[in-house]
Structure 1
């Protein structure tokens, strides 16, 4: 312990400068994190493709089309299914009722969820419907990444899409917050150390 205190006494100014630099860099990233995420989400919204599959009118399509790279199909054919399995679409927005007929998939949207998740488990699927579904379909519905009533609201859909698009970026923000907590503890301990060095 004495050698650490001796080292701190000899290098107190340098240690303070290094800590201040690390703190400034971290604060820069933390304070700019919101701007960085906003810029990233705008870029991802333009770049990542989203497929909406709904045999009827989807109430938020026009609003989503303003901000996202989204296309709409009334049903899936073999070509679209192949594109999904090839990873062309980052996210699938899928209605439960009235879809899957072209491919003769049993159980409509439930069958599509099951087929896609069996073939490509990492495919992000947001499922929605106007109807309530019984317990017999719960195991399949749980395989979807998000589930909404069709009338849930535009902001709920946008939030779910953005969360899926950001994925690892949200993890980065969590790590930055954790780093800030560590730096606060470090600063507190360094302050105690410098008090004992100068005492």
Structure 2
């Protein structure tokens, strides 16, 4: 009666952790990983990251979402940026637009302010949220 249901049974090889071929964190060329920080007050960790050979560019604002295209990671302040887009959500709007246009880019919301619940959706859209006093 149920002959049309056939099971495809495949025997698969089992792997263990030693089969993974990954380089150590020490061998990663940090300079190839491009980071953009959008913050109207500058980025307090700029020199530290550059001293550790990260490819970091800090800008006070952007006027076009395409400005983030070349970057792998975007760190975005919330207040004081995104003014060209005319949204009261400022950096939150930038995060939203980045995720619409470049859904696979990693975005960190980075702010020292407290926000009303209207901003929650923008923090949810980001891949990570950090306070500016984070070490």
TM-score category (smaller protein): 0.7 to 0.9
Work out which of the residue numbers 84, 103, 107 in structure 2 matches 1:121: 103
Structure 1 residues without counterparts, runs of 5 or longer: 1-22, 154-199
Does 1:69 find its partner at 2:55?
yes
2:66 corresponding residue in structure 1: 82
**Offset, 1:105:** 4.2
Work out which of the residue numbers 22, 29, 52 in structure 1 matches 2:37: 52
SS in 1 for 2:50: helix
SS in 1 for 2:57: strand
1:179 corresponding residue in structure 2: none
SS in 2 for 1:88: coil
Higher relative contact order (CA 8 A, sep 6+): 1
Deviations 1:119-157 (A, max 9, x none): 22111101111111122211221110000100111xxxx
Does the CA-based 8 Å contact 2:89-2:119 persist in structure 1? no
Deviates more, 1:103-112 or 1:132-141: 103-112
Q: RMSD in angstroms over aligned alpha carbons? A: 2.3
CA distance, structure 1, for counterparts of residue 27 and residue 89 of structure 2: 38
2:128 corresponding residue in structure 1: 146
Structure 2 residues without counterparts, runs of 5 or longer: 1-15
**Offset, 1:47:** 0.5
Give the paired residue count.
Answer: 119
CA distance, structure 1, for counterparts of residue 85 and residue 48 of structure 2: 29
Does the CA-based 8 Å contact 1:76-1:103 persist in structure 2? no
**Offset, 1:94:** 0.5
Q: TM-score, normalised by structure 2?
A: 0.77
1:102 corresponding residue in structure 2: 84
**Offset, 1:88:** 0.8
CA distance, structure 2, for counterparts of residue 50 and residue 58 of structure 1: 12
Of Structure 1 and Structure 2, which has the larger fraction of its residues in strand? 2
Higher gyration radius (CA): 1
1:38 corresponding residue in structure 2: 25
Of Structure 1 and Structure 2, which has the larger fraction of its residues in helix? 1
